[in-house]
Amino acid sequence: MSEATKTPYLTTKDYLVSGETFDLIHDEELDMLCTSPVPSEEYLPKYYDSDAYISHTDSEKGIMAYLYQKVKGYALRKKVKLIARHNKGAGTLLDIGAGTGAFLEAASKKGWDVKGVEPSERAREVADDRSVDLVSSIDSLPESNYDAVTLWHVLEHMPDLERTVHDLASIVRPGGTLIVAVPNFRSYDARFYNTYWAAYDVPRHLWHFSKTSVRKLFSKDFDHVKTKPMLFDSFYVSLLSEKYKSGNRFSLKAIWIGFISNLKGLVSKEYSSHIYIFKRHH
């Protein structure tokens, strides 16, 4: 992304699928970490080929998946309320990285005219059962300006970050709302778990953002309105991180670290994940 001097930050590994090791390179100008090496676009889908990758399934097997699905249901309602508040009611909504379409289904029930982008054929098949209309890429969309565009933990997966930011500027209507949720590598739980921090999730996560990097990336075409914490993320990420570190499927220590991370976030404003709300320039 940047021509700034890039320095190594840490080395971590893919704990979910391949066990391969990756470096995280610090882009000092943006205060962002970049996964290295980046798998080819042809090979990258293989790193998603895991039943453990539950964001693309509706499984409730196992305590982690069960907790994930229960929290997701609550979070979906909060997300729909959030976009309605900033759009002053329902309108046209595009969700990029829509997964199995649960968010769009919830928004549709509240009066939104919804559309989604999801590259995973497996996820799109599940969305079909929800009668949610998904396309495989942004290129497949008819030209349109949406009232609201959302990316819930998706931006970190996009191979071409510059093009994605450019595309977003072209599909959000002037005065429209863009909502981006991403993990924050400056959080306490990220520092505590270090190389075991589950939200690094290499190589599926190609970029690792700070508050500085997200604001800079979108500053050309968007006004930053607000940043909100995602309080549940610290617990979920800490539980996964502890599993990677110690092998424990459930850990009270991880719950404690998640709580401490949120507590420290009250002062530092650096939470495990953030929601960034932007308005498109008129």
Q: What is the pLDDT of residues 54-101, one digit of tens each?
A: 454 555 566 666 776 777 778 899 999 999 999 999 999 999 999 889
β-strand partners of 21: 13
15-24, 136-145, 263-272: segment of lowest average pLDDT: 136-145
Contacts of 253 by beta carbon, 8 Å cutoff, 6+ apart: 242
177 touches 209 (CB < 8 A): no
Q: What is the pLDDT of residues 148-172, one digit of tens each?
A: 999 999 999 999 999 999 999 999 9
pLDDT band at 20 (very low <50, low <70, confident <90, very high): very high
CA–CA dist 282, 272 (Å, integer): 32
Which pLDDT score is estimated for 60? Answer: 54
Read off the pLDDT of each residue in 97-110 and give the average, rounded to a whole number: 93
Q: Is it the case that residue 256 has pLDDT exceeding 60?
A: yes
* Structural domains of the chain ordered from first start: 6-231+271-280 (3.40.50.150)
pLDDT greater at residue 182 or residue 137: 182
149 touches 179 (CB < 8 A): yes
1-5, 102-106, 117-121: segment of lowest average pLDDT: 1-5
Q: Torsion angle, CA of 70/75/81/86, rounded to 10 degrees?
A: -170
Please state, rounded to an integer, the average pLDDT across all residues of the chain.
Answer: 90
Q: What is the pTM of this model?
A: 0.90
Which pLDDT score is estimated for 6? Answer: 61
Q: What is the pLDDT of residues 197-241, one digit of tens each?
A: 999 999 999 999 999 999 999 999 999 999 999 999 999 999 999
Which pLDDT score is estimated for 119? Answer: 87
Please give the single-letter amino acid code of residue 78: K
Please give the single-letter amino acid code of residue 121: E
For residue 57 the two structure tokens come to 């399934």
